[in-house]
Structure 1
């Protein structure tokens, strides 16, 4: 048997993650198995188990790599409203991505019955992104672009309606909805104009 090389190992790992991504989009999170992932990636099942102990672990890495490319922490262009708007648009695009959406829904559902998975999601996604976004909001406060408030409250006001639509109501959402959410959040948390007014540089889409 040929000895594994770093390049060959990387190719196998990429193939496994891609297989998991495609299978979840095709048949849903619940029905994907480690055997199916190995078969689609054209690797042996022991190869998959060598790197991941479970299907949830495979999907966690799949999601992390895709998420890191699409949802970056809040940028700093010097204009916090533009930064929030662009960040929220990217967040909406990620939740609506036909490949990522079933993984996001599936892994969050699985995490409700798996404390270790829930802790891993918090450690890999929630904590680092929350910390980075707080730094940006605090910088905007110090620059006089936002009033003093708990940064996490602003972030929660922005993403909670989207998570609700994704996981509970299954209502569609797009960039216009994101703009409306941002206008409302700024009004409620920052004492700005009522939603629909343009003084914040964002309208409610109406």
Structure 2
């Protein structure tokens, strides 16, 4: 889907004509996601591609006065249509000074991409698991597999324990809100900087 969109390309975004700063890929991991519609795919398969871009102007050619760095899926960010190409070419001819200023705009602020998921644990362990996760992963850099490995070790869960079973006797569901900054991945696994565990 992004083979024809590359860094520095001009694109039609929801907010207007934009230039691509970065392209981020999101991959399927072992945990269920509440923020994306369920679909059949394997762990490690590409789930979504995010285009981080800066907005130059609206589709009529009115240049933005403030710097706008945004991000969206490739489903709503596409190569320039012919009409937008004409608008951009006209701006390059008549607004050279504004375009020079636009060139130096970059992503200067971190942004958080929250991943909401859940796990099931033994009913008697719920509060201890919540306290353990919130304490040990409060301010660290970790992958989701690190959380699972720590729970198995701390609470003596066997390797075959199914944390994502929809129905399991004598278990309770814990919701996890994980913070992934700037869509950071290592390999095909998201890197998180904080987590909040709670029971709804």
Task: Tell me which interval the TM-score lies in, with the shorter structure as reference length.
Answer: under 0.3
Structure with higher Rg: it is 2
Higher strand fraction (1 or 2): 2
Q: Which has the higher contact order (CA 8 A, sep 6+)?
A: 2
Higher helix fraction (1 or 2): 1
- When the two structures are superposed, what TM-score results if normalisation uses the length of structure 2? 0.21
- When the two structures are superposed, what TM-score results if normalisation uses the length of structure 1? 0.20
